[in-house]
Amino acid sequence: MSEPKFVYVTYIATTPEKLWRALTDGAFTERYWFGTRIMSDWTLGATVTFLRNDTVYDYGAVLECDPPRRLSYSWSVQFHEEFRRERPSRVTFEIEPMTSAGGTKSEVKLTVTHDDFDVGSKVFLAISGGWPVVLASLKSFLETGDALAVAGVGALKAAEERALAAARGGAA
């Protein structure tokens, strides 16, 4: 059996620079990612901290940083004991500028790969339901200025319950 891998591709009407900022600036991430403020200086090996209400939910380390093209960091889920037992996984964002018809509109292709899981990983089961919501909210935020309510601060508890249910093999 091969190691699990999550890959998500989306196209966003924005510039690579704006997308990069939305992925790396905590003031932006907390607007579309369940109130999560991501913190790092984005140098190789630097700590990446995911804060919610000044509480560390997750953390990792910068593995690669090539603005505004590629960002990769390790990810250790901390918000529940069910996930803390697992070794860190890896998340990679690849940003590719796209040329629109007529070249009048800036668009990007975003590929998110979350991998380096052990076979049977509970974190993998949880992130497989979480990333589509976060990335849809990111796309909406960049294209309209409004994040999705389903990825807002008020939706955090329900998202955590869904993640735990997926990890335990049930449905929320």
Q: How confident is the model at residue 170 (pLDDT cuts 50, 70, 90)?
A: low
* 38, 156 contact by CB (below 8 A): no
CATH of domain 6-167: 3.30.530.20
Higher-pLDDT residue of 152 and 77 is 77
The alpha carbon dihedral of 94, 132, 23, 87 has a sign of negative
Alpha carbon 80 to chain centroid distance? Answer: 18
Q: Please tell me the predicted confidence (pLDDT) of residue 100.
A: 65
Among 39-53, 54-68, 88-102, name the one with the lowest average pLDDT: 88-102
Separation CA 164–CA 64 (nearest Å):
29
pLDDT, tens digit, for every residue of 75-122? 999 888 888 999 999 999 999 999 766 666 789 999 999 999 989 999
Where in the chain are the domains? 6-167
Separation CA 21–CA 155 (nearest Å):
23
Q: How confident is the model at residue 49 (pLDDT cuts 50, 70, 90)?
A: very high
Q: Give the mean pLDDT of the chain.
A: 91
